[in-house]
Amino acid sequence: MKKYVSLIIIALLAGADQASKVLALKLLKPVGSADFLPGVLGFRYVENTGAVFGSFSNSTVLLSVITAAVIITGLALLVTGRFSNKVYLFCAVLIIAGGTGNLYDRIVRGFVVDFFEFRFVNFAVFNVADIFVTVGSFVLIIYLVAGLVRDIKKERSA
C-alpha cells in the first residue's frame, strides 16, 4: 500500500512542478521577470540547458541519462519495498518527483524551465522540482550524518 501511495504522491508532485512551469511559460516568459517580495524573492524566466548554477551547460542528453538512471533506480527500490524507513521513503519520493519534473522538461522542451530567483543573494534561478530534489537530498544527508554520529557515540560508550 505504501508504495502505491508513494507513486501517486510522486505523480502529483511532478504534476505540480509541471503546472508551475506552464504558468511560468505563459505568464513570465513574455515579460522576463517580475518582483514578488522586492529585494528578497522574484521571478525570472530562464531556459536552463545545464544543471545547477549553469554547470554542464548544453549537456541535456547527459543530464537526461543520469536523471533517468536515478529515477529508475529509485522507482525500482520503491516498488520492491527497499525503503522500509520512512525518512528514506520521504526523501526518495521528493528526489524522484523532482527528477521526473526536470527530466520531462529536458526531453519535451530541450531545457529546464527555471523561474524562482532570490534577490538578496547571488544564487541560481530554480524551480519547484529543484526544491523537491534539494529538500529530499538535504534531509537524507542530515539523517545519514545523524545516524553516523549516533553510531560513533554508541561505539565509544560500549
Give me the residue spans of the domains in the chain: 2-157
- Inter-residue contact 83 to 92 (CB < 8 Å): yes
C-alpha 28/C-alpha 5 separation (Å) is: 33
- Inter-residue contact 101 to 140 (CB < 8 Å): no
Q: What is the pLDDT of residue 112?
A: 95
Cell of residue 149, nine digits: 554520529
How deeply is 50 buried, as exposed, middle or buried, from its count of CB atoms within 10 A (0-12, 13-18, 19+)? Answer: middle
The string of pLDDT tens digits covering residues 12-65 is: 999 999 999 999 999 999 999 999 999 999 999 999 988 776 677 777 888 999
The string of pLDDT tens digits covering residues 85-131 is: 999 999 999 999 999 999 999 999 999 999 999 999 999 999 999 99
Question: Between these two residues, 60 and 72, which has the higher pLDDT value?
Answer: 72
Q: Which residue has the cell 522576463?
A: 32
Query: Would you name the residues annotated as active-site residues?
Result: 114, 130
Q: What is the pLDDT of residue 67?
A: 95
The strands making up 33-37's β-sheet, listed across from edge to edge, are 33-37, 41-48, 112-118
**What amino acid occupies position 47?**
E
